[in-house]
């Protein structure tokens, strides 16, 4: 069963999301290891971004309490509060939610393009560390296919919008950015996005980063309107310029009140990080905008894209149904193959027994074999056609389990562990 536990901007505030964030791979690996110790959890992966923490899993039974208890323990949070806040999805709902996330329909900024890459990184990390296998691989590959279809068949990602672009839009409402010198703290993906949008707005940017080579590489990509410097010089920049965009992976605030001097002009700080990079007391001349403060701009974005979002959800609904139809196809084909193989084995055994006991002459063996084949072929034709007609239908799981029980078939059939079943149902009517 597919399972998803979701904490996002929709159900949790920024303070709680900060506690739940996984900024380093060591902590992420530790959490997934704990989750995998539960015998009912076969596969799992973790998505952690500035607006969401999601645990996607393939499980034998419901196990939200265990997963959330593990999360609470590792992130020093209250389990009861997490249980109250979490959105929990099962099977079809879980896949629909996953496809919505991949297609950026569940993002704070609908249509933003970062989430697909973040989801791919989470998948690769889980795969390389043996936390997920065939079941989540199928789901994630289908999620990326769905996201591509949404991008190609709707305008929802036209003129891509991200949290960084929304922050720059807000900054443009506060002042004319043309020729302004803007400080960006952090040379990661979010810092790069903010820099590109600021340069497009006419600003010049200075990138501050601990790793100077990374900052230099980014400036080479950005061009002549960018400079770089060491993060060690942060204090002098804080007390010289007006606009600051911070997006680091630090686990604590790096911009605090003790670094600031009183100045006679306004300074604007945009905190794009979770956990937050900025811990300042706001005043007449100090304005701080966090991720959650940008919601008004986001709502305008959502209204403009509402029609495209409806089209996108229609695609996601169809792709969800197609995914489960695909799983049903994988399950039905091995069932049909196993029943036919069982019939063949019984026919062969009974034919040899008849020859051994003298019920048939050896000279009649080939004719008897052909007759038996025709009998079981005729007998199995209707059941086979009926099973094929169940492909993609909700009741197929019930029928499949009944067939497994009635014919005493193995539940872990070989075909269930393949991306595509190689068994050709149409051309398997012969006994040999």
Q: Give me the phi and psi of 171, to 5 degrees please.
A: -60, -40
Q: Which of 50, 132, 146, 219 is catalytic?
A: 50
Do residues 200 and 177 lie in contact, with contact meaning Cβ atoms separated by under 8 Å? no
Q: Give me the phi and psi of 334, to 5 degrees please.
A: -65, -30
pLDDT digits (tens, 9 = 90+) for 270-320: 999 988 999 999 999 999 999 888 776 666 666 666 778 888 999 999 999
pLDDT digits (tens, 9 = 90+) for 73-107: 999 999 999 999 999 999 999 999 999 999 988 88
Q: Given the DSSP bridges, would you call strands 181-185 and 243-246 parallel, antiparallel or unpaired?
A: parallel
Q: What is the pLDDT of residue 38?
A: 95
Q: What is the rounded CA–CA span in Å between residue 20 and residue 198?
A: 30
Rounded to two decimals, the pTM is 0.66
pLDDT digits (tens, 9 = 90+) for 351-366: 888 888 888 888 888 8
- In the annotation, is 63 catalytic? no
Q: What is the pLDDT of residue 381?
A: 84
pLDDT digits (tens, 9 = 90+) for 312-322: 999 999 999 99
Round the average pLDDT of the chain to a whole number and report it: 86
DSSP for 306-367, written as a single string: HHHHHHHHHHHHHHHHHHHHHHHHHHHHHHHHHHHHHHHHHHHHHHHHHHHTTSS-GGGHHH
Q: What is the rounded CA–CA span in Å between residue 408 and residue 240?
A: 78
Which of 86, 88, 79, 68 is closest to 3 using CA atoms? 88
Count CA within 13 A, CB hemisphere, residue 126.
29
Do residues 52 and 8 lie in contact, with contact meaning Cβ atoms separated by under 8 Å? yes
- Calculate mean pLDDT across residues 113-134: 91
CB atoms within 10 A of CB 155: 13
How would you class 63 by CB atoms within 10 Å of its CB: exposed for 0-12, middle for 13-18, buried for 19 or more? buried
């Amino acid at each position: 069963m597919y399972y998803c536990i979701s904490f996002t901007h929709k159900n949790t505030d920024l303070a709680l999301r900060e506690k739940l964030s996984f900024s380093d791979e060591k902590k992420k690996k530790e959490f997934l290891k704990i989750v995998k110790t539960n015998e009912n959890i076969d596969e799992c992966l973790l998505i952690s971004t500035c607006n969401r923490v999601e645990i996607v899993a393939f499980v034998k039974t419901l196990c939200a309490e265990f997963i959330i208890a593990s999360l609470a323990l590792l992130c020093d949070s209250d389990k009861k509060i997490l249980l109250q806040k979490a959105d929990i999805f099962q099977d079809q709902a879980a896949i629909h939610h996953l496809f919505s996330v991949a297609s950026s329909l569940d993002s704070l900024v609908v249509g933003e393009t970062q989430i697909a890459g973040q989801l791919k990184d989470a998948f690769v990390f889980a795969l390389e560390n043996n936390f997920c296998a065939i079941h989540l691989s199928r789901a994630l590959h289908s999620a990326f296919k769905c996201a591509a279809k949404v991008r190609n068949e709707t305008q929802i990602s036209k003129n891509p919008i991200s949290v960084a672009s929304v922050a720059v839009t807000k900054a443009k409402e506060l002042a004319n950015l043309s020729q302004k010198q803007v400080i960006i703290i952090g040379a990661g993906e979010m810092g790069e996005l903010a820099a590109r949008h600021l340069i497009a707005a006419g600003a010049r940017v200075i990138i501050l980063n601990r790793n100077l080579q990374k900052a230099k590489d980014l400036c080479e990509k950005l061009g002549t309107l960018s400079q770089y410097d060491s993060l060690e010089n942060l204090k002098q920049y804080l007390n010289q310029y007006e606009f600051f965009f911070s997006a680091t992976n630090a686990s604590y605030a790096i911009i605090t009140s003790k670094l600031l001097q009183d100045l006679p002009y306004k300074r604007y700080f945009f905190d794009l990080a979770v956990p937050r990079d900025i811990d300042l007391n706001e005043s007449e001349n100090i304005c701080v905008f966090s991720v959650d403060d940008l919601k008004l701009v986001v709502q305008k974005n959502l209204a403009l894209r509402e029609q495209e979002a409806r089209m996108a959800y229609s695609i996601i609904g169809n792709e969800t149904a197609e995914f489960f139809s695909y799983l049903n196809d994988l399950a039905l084909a091995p069932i049909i193959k196993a029943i036919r193989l069982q019939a063949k084995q019984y026919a062969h055994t009974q034919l040899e027994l008849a020859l051994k006991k003298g019920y048939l002459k050896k000279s009649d063996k080939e004719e008897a074999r052909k007759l038996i084949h025709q009998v079981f072929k005729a007998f199995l034709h209707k059941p086979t056609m009926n099973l094929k007609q169940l492909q993609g239908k909700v009741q197929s799981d019930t029928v499949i389990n009944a067939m497994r029980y009635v014919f005493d078939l193995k539940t872990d059939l070989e075909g269930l562990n393949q991306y595509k079943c190689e068994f050709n149902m149409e051309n398997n009517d012969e006994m040999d």
